[in-house]
Structure 1
Amino acid sequence: MVWLTALQETALRVDLSWFTRIHRLNQHRWIAAVAQCFSRSGDGYWYFIVGLVFVLHSADGQAFFTACAAIFLFERPLYWWLKNKFKRARPTTLMASKKLFVAQDEFSFPSGHTCAAFIFVTCLSYYYPVFALYLLPWACAVGVSRVVVGAHYVSDVCVGALLGIAFVETFFLIYFAL
C-alpha cells in the first residue's frame, strides 16, 4: 500500500502544479472576467432554457430535451454521491488564492459544471452534430474556467468531462439496444 500513497501524493503534486499555473491566469482582469462568464454559462438553468428553445424550434427538439432530462436525472444523484464520498476540499480552501466564485457546496471532485457541459454537448451531438461541433470548445472553456476561478483542480475537471461523456454514451447504448 506504500506505492498507493506515493501515487496519490504524486498525483496531488501534479494537480497542484497545474492548478497553480492555470489559476494564476485570473491575475489578468480580462481573463478573470471571461472565466467568470464561461463558468456561469455552465450553470444548470441554461441547459433547460436552451433545451426549450430546441423544443420550440426543431423537429428533434423534444427527443433531445427528453434525452438530456433523462441523463441529468441519473447523473445528478451519482455526481452528488461521488462529491460526498471523496470530500475533496476545493483548492481555494487549501491555499491562499483569489477566489472568483461562490460555491454551492464545499467539495470539488468531480466538477459538476464540466460534467453538465459535456453531457449537454455530447447529447447534442446525437441530434444536432453541427451545433455540437461549435459548442465543444465552449464545454472545454467551462472546464478550464472552473480552474481559473479557483473552484476545481484540473483532475476534477477532467473526470467531470469524462463522466459527462460516459453518461451520454451509456444512455444511448441502452436506448439503441431497446
Structure 2
Amino acid sequence: MKNKLAGYKALLWILAIPVLNVFYGILNHGNGDVSSLWTSWDDRIPFVPVFIIPYLLWYPFVLMMLVALFMKKASAYYRTLLALCLGLLASYVTFYFFQTMVTRPDASGTGVFLWLVRLVYGTDGAYNCFPSIHVLTSYLMLKGMSECRDQFSGTSRFFIQLLSWSVTISTVFVKQHVLLDIIGGIVVAEITFFAAGKWLSKLRKDMLRESPFWRWLQTWEQRVFNWCNQSISHPVLSRVLAAMTHMGGALFTLTCSLSISLLAPEPWRTAGIQSFAALAVSHLAAVLLKKLIRRPRPYLALPDTNLILKPLKDHSFPSGHTTAVFSIVVPFLFTLPALAIILLPLAAGVGLSRVYLGVHYPSDCLAGGLIGISCALLAISLI
C-alpha cells in the first residue's frame, strides 16, 4: 500500500496551484491606476447568467485534467503543470504592474444562475482581468491533452474540448473578462507551454541523475552538511543549538500561537490566529511529504554524522521544525516588520540547528522554510 501511494506522490505538486493563488487574493483590489480593455466588440456580447455553470466548473476541470494527464503520460503532466505555474506567475506580475478591471452588469433578480453570479461577484473583485487565468489554465489543458492525444478516447477528447472552450467563452458571457483578456490568456499559455517543454527536455529525470550537475549538487549538499555538522562543532554551540531547536517543536510553537491568539490584544490576536492556522496546515503538508518521499535521515546514510540528538523514527524531508517555526513567524512580520531583525535569525537558527544536530539535510530545512512561509501567506490572505 505504501509503495502504491509513493507512486502518486508527484500529484502533490498540484498543491503549488493554491499556494500560488494566494498572490491573486493579495492583488485583487484597485490600486488607484486601473485600466480598462473594454472594446466595442464587448458591447455586443450579452450577459448570459447560465454561463456561470461552466465558469464555476473551471477549477475542478483543471484539477481533474491534471490527474488524468498524470495517469496517461507523466511527461505531459509535468509539462502542463509547470506551464500553468509559470503562467500564474506571469499573470501576477502583470496584475501588479498593469491592473485592469471590467464593468459588471446588474445581476439583481431571482433564479439560481443570478444567485451564483452574485456569489462570484461578491467573492471576486472586478480586477486582475488581463490575462484571464480561467482561459490560460483551460487552454493549457488542451495543450496537455495534445501531448498524449492517442491515450484519450474520441469521446473524452470531445468533452474535454467542449468544457475547455465553454469555460473560455463563459468569462465574457458572465462579464468577468473582455475579449482581450481571452487573447492574452491564450498567448501566455502558448508561451509558457513552449518554455516548459524546452526546459523539461533538458532536465529529464534519468538524464539529470546521471549528469555532472546532479552529482555536483549532491556533493555540494554533503559538504554543507559536513561543515555544519562537523567542522563548526563546539560544546558551547552544541548546547545553544540543542536548546534553540526546540523553538520549532510542537510544544513551543503551539503554546506561542495559541497563547497569543487567545490572550493578546489586536492586532497581535489576529496574527496569533494566522500563525496557528498556518502551523496546522503546514504540519499536515510536512507529515504527508515525509510519508510519501520517505527520505532517510542523514545519520542513516552518512556514517560520519555527528548525531547529537536521539535518533528519530520518522523521515527526513522536509524538516518539520523548520516548517513550523517559519509558519508561526511570518504573520508577526506582517504585523510589525521591524520584528524581522529578531524573528528571522531565530527561525533560520532553528533550521541551522537541525543540520548541526545531524537530523536533517540542508535541503530538508530549505523546503521546510518554503512550506512554512507559503502556508503563512495563505493564512494571512484568508484571515
TM-score exceeds 0.5: yes
- Note the alpha carbon deviations across 1:126-159, whole angstroms, 9 max, x for none: 2233334311100000000110000111111111
1:30-59 residue CA offsets vs partner (Å, 9 max, x unmatched): 111111011122212112322344342432
Matched, 1:2 2:184: no
How many angstroms apart in 2 are the aligned matches of 1:82 and 1:5?
A: 21
Instruction: Please tell me whether the aligned partners of residues 64 and 123 of structure 1 are also in contact (alpha carbons under 8 angstroms).
Output: yes
Paired position in structure 2 for 1:116: 324
| Pick aligned residue for 1:32 from 215, 238, 251 | 238
Query: What secondary structure is seen at the aligned counterpart in 2 of 1:105?
Result: coil
Indicate if the aligned counterparts of 1:36 and 1:145 stay in contact, CA closer than 8 A. Answer: yes
User: Are 1:26 and 1:149, in contact at CA under 8 Å, matched by a contact in 2?
Assistant: no
Query: Which structure has the higher relative contact order (CA within 8 Å, separation 6+)?
Result: 1
Q: Which residue of 2 aligns with 1:135?
A: 343
Partner of 1:60: 267
CA distance in 2, matches of 1:45, 1:139: 16
Q: Which residue of 2 aligns with 1:23?
A: 229
Rounded Cα–Cα distance in structure 1 between residues aligned with 2:340 and 2:373: 13
2:283 paired residue number? 76
Q: What are the residue-to-residue correspondences of 1:163-174 with 2, within 5 Å?
A: 163-173=371-381
Say if 1:84 and 1:107, in contact at 8 Å, map to a contact too: yes
Q: CA deviation at 1:8?
A: 4.3
1:80 to partner: Cα distance? 0.8
Equivalent residue letter for 1:75: S
Letter in 1 for 2:226: T
How many Å separate the matches in 2 of 1:71 and 1:104?
24
CA separation of 1:140 and 1:153: change in aligned 2, threshold 3 A: same
Question: What is aligned with 2:72?
Answer: none
TM-score by length of 1: 0.87
In 2, the alpha carbon distance for the partners of 1:137 and 1:93 equals 29
Q: Which runs of 5+ in 1 are unaligned?
A: none
Q: Which runs of 4+ in 1 moved over 4 A?
A: none
What percentage of aligned pairs have identical amino acids?
Answer: 25
- Segments of structure 2 that go 5 or more residues without pairing to the other structure are 1-204
Show CA shifts across 1:92-137 (max 9, x none). 1112322112355331111111111111111211223333431110
Q: Tell me the distance in 2 between the aligned counterparts of 1:39 and 1:17.
A: 22
Q: 2:296 aligns with which of 85, 89, 104?
A: 89
- SS of the residue 1:108 aligns to: coil
- Asked if structure 2 preserves the Cα contact closer than 8 Å seen for 1:23 and 1:150, the reply is yes
CA distance in 2, matches of 1:103, 1:122: 30
Aligned residue number for residue 7 of structure 2: none
> 2:276 touches 2:328 (CA, 8 Å); kept in 1?
no
Cα distance in 2 for partners of 1:45, 1:125 equals 21
- For the aligned residue pairs, the C-alpha RMSD in angstroms reads 2.1
TM-score normalised over the length of structure 2? 0.43
Deviates more, 1:7-16 or 1:141-150: 7-16
Decide whether the 8 Å contact of 2:257 with 2:276 is kept in 1.
Answer: no
How has the CA–CA distance of structure 1 residues 103 and 120 changed in structure 2, closer, same or farther, with 3 Å as cutoff?
Answer: farther
Query: Structure 1: how far apart are the matches of 2:208 and 2:369?
Result: 25
C-alpha spacing 1:149/1:76, structure 2 compared with 1 (3 Å): same
Give SS of 1:27's match: coil
The number of residue pairs the alignment matches comes to 175
Give SS of 1:152's match. Answer: coil
